[in-house]
Amino acid sequence: MAITELNKDIQDQISDLLKKLQQIEKLRNKDMRILLDKIVRKYGGKVVNK
């Protein structure tokens, strides 16, 4: 499996997880952005509002 395929798979899993959390916990988009930002900052990234 190529790195890009792995990244795509991981992105899909994160997306599915966030959708489930949103349904179960009634997470708001702002809360999801905060959670994602905490994760990506560990890897030198930053969540950007679009």
Q: Which residue has the higher pLDDT, 1 or 9?
A: 9
The pLDDT value recorded for residue 2 is 58
39's tokens: 């994760």
| Distance from C-alpha of 4 to C-alpha of 10, rounded to nearest angstrom | 10
The pLDDT value recorded for residue 27 is 74
DSSP structure class, residue 43:
T
Tell me the whole-structure pTM to 2 decimals.
0.53
The pLDDT value recorded for residue 6 is 67
pLDDT digits (tens, 9 = 90+) for 5-45: 668 888 888 888 888 888 887 778 788 888 888 888 887 87
For 26: left if phi > 0, alpha if psi spans -120 to 50, otherwise beta; the answer is: left
| Distance from C-alpha of 1 to C-alpha of 37, rounded to nearest angstrom | 27
The pLDDT value recorded for residue 41 is 85
